[in-house]
Amino acid sequence: MLNQIKAVEQVLEEIGAGGCPMIVALNKADLLSSDIIQIADVATELPTVRVSALNGTGMDELMRCISDNLVLQFDALDVVIPYERGELVAQFHQFGTIEEECYEANGTHIRGHMPKNHSGPLLAFQWRFIEDEAESRQNLLGKQ
């Protein structure tokens, strides 16, 4: 099993997706021993979830794990980007999830979510911080 995980990691690296967040989903949960799960947890240092595609066992836990790990990778933003920084608006459209966008006198007002590895330049234009993280998480997951 560890060889399979390493092979997947190598292929992801080769196609330029090596830094993507990952979750190990061990299928056929009814056939797996607890020793295998402990080995996967320790060896990969990745979140590991047991699932069964046959009977649906573990699917709720998998969805919760995806939700928790996905939200950690995004910044909730409410920004007003000056019109002369149109490249940042384009970046938000390319990489982010936009919930609202409108045009104001001083720039483009966008509310949404941006992957943390792309949000740095936008933080300077933060209009207000999203305080309700539960609402922010629900909005992000509803838009995916």
DSSP symbols for 47-71: -EEE--TTT-TTHHHHHHHHHHHHH
CA 34 to the chain's CA centroid: 28
pTM over 0.85: no
Please write the tens of the pLDDT for every residue from 4-13: 778 888 898 8
The better pLDDT of the pair 16, 56 is held by: 56
What CATH architecture is 74-143? Answer: 2-Layer Sandwich (3.30)
Q: What does each C-alpha distance from 120 to 29, 73, 89 come to in angstroms?
A: 40, 13, 13
Residue type, 135: E
Please write the tens of the pLDDT for every residue from 75-122: 889 999 999 999 999 999 998 899 999 999 999 999 999 888 888 888
